[in-house]
Structure 1
Amino acid sequence: MRRNTYILLLLLFTLFSCQLFDKKVPDKEKLLKEELEKINWEEVDEFPTVNNCDSILDKELQKKCFFDYLIQNIQQRIGVDTLQIMYPEVDTIAVKVTINPDATLEFHTEVPKEAVTYDIKVIDSILQNRLSDFPHVEPAIKRGIKVKSQFILPVIIKVEE
């Protein structure tokens, strides 16, 4: 009798234990949606970089180095004299820099609302012409994938004497 009880208990345990392993697989669409909601799409894992800033390990210092490099390079290339002659009252322009995943760069002038008198097409054409051979920039990285990033940089074109 004791043996039958063990067999009966073993049989019952076997039957009911199958329910412990019978778990539903989560829906892949639901999992994907949850993962996408967790991602902060406004920030990148790694900022764009240039060769001069690659060796810096601290992310904030590397970011500062990158922005300083961009601003300095744009200031040198746009030919301060050209814009100063055309627009003597302008001392700073806002340049929108777009770095695409394929490492191509786009430069456009961002116009303040009060600056209606400036011919943005002329300033943009100067930017495009002078910045066409801009040094290589590595794009930003988000979750291991190169992504598009945009920045608006203040570029000083009139140095106070």
Structure 2
Amino acid sequence: MKQFSFFIFLLFFNSCQYFEKKVPSEKELLQKELRSINWKEVDEYPTVAECETINDKKLRQKCFFDVMSQLIQEKLNVDSLSILYPDLDTIQVKVTVFPNSKMKFEPEFRKDSVAYDTIRIDSILHARLVDFPKVNPAIKRGLPVKTQFTLPVIIKAKE
């Protein structure tokens, strides 16, 4: 019995080393978590009231893009942009939605767009693209985040 208790005692103290595990530091855990996050994707895309009822992520995104394109086209169709530049049929507009629901619009011109007065087009866009409905920002891990996307806006000629 003495040998058995000595064996148990020896086993008990030697087995503690098997329970010791290296605990990762706070920085290591943070870096691992940051690497696992896909920063190119958001959990929920920005949305407007018309698209709130759609549950499918892709359909809600398409709805938002369609509504934004339509609103921008409506605001630009009442302007003289199509008269000033009749061969300008499409403008790429970079839309930025900030976490506080504010929006910023910037036209993106091709490198060969020297035929257009880009400063004038930019000022027309900034003057016309105001008073949009409230846009809910994109959500990433439960927090609102800034998103940017480019919409092709078709300029229709006045008839």
Contact 2:107–2:122 (CA under 8 A) maintained in structure 1 = yes
Deviation at 1:17, TM superposition (A): 2.2
Aligned match for 2:56, one of 32, 55, 58: 58
Contact 1:97–1:107 (CA under 8 A) maintained in structure 2 = yes
Deviation at 1:149, TM superposition (A): 0.8
Q: Deviations over 1:43-98 (max 9, x none)?
A: 11111111100100111111110000000000111234410122111111111100
Does 2:92 align with 1:74? no
CA distance in 1, matches of 2:74, 2:131: 13
Q: Partner residue of 2:118?
A: 120
Does 2:100 align with 1:105? no
Q: Deviations over 1:105-127 (max 9, x none)?
A: 00011001121121222222222
Question: Which residue identity is paired with 1:157?
Answer: I
Structure 1 segments of 4 or more deviating over 3 A? none
Does 2:90 align with 1:85? no
Q: Partner residue of 1:12?
A: 10
SS in 2 for 1:102: coil
Q: CA RMSD in A?
A: 1.7
Q: Which structure 2 segments of 5+ residues have no match?
A: none
Aligned match for 2:30, one of 13, 32, 39: 32
SS in 1 for 2:80: helix
Question: Which residue identity is paired with 2:17?
Answer: Q
Deviation at 1:129, TM superposition (A): 1.7
- Count how many residue pairs are aligned between Structure 1 and Structure 2: 159
User: Once structures 1 and 2 are overlaid, which stretch shifts more, 61-70 or 110-119?
Assistant: 110-119
CA distance in 1, matches of 2:36, 2:128: 41
CA distance in 1, matches of 2:137, 2:131: 17
Change (3 A) 1:143 1:59: same
Contact 1:90–1:158 (CA under 8 A) maintained in structure 2 = no
Deviation at 1:160, TM superposition (A): 8.9
Question: Which residue identity is paired with 2:65?
Answer: F
User: Once structures 1 and 2 are overlaid, which stretch shifts more, 15-24 or 102-111?
Assistant: 15-24
Q: Which structure 1 segments of 5+ residues have no match?
A: none
Change (3 A) 1:88 1:115: same
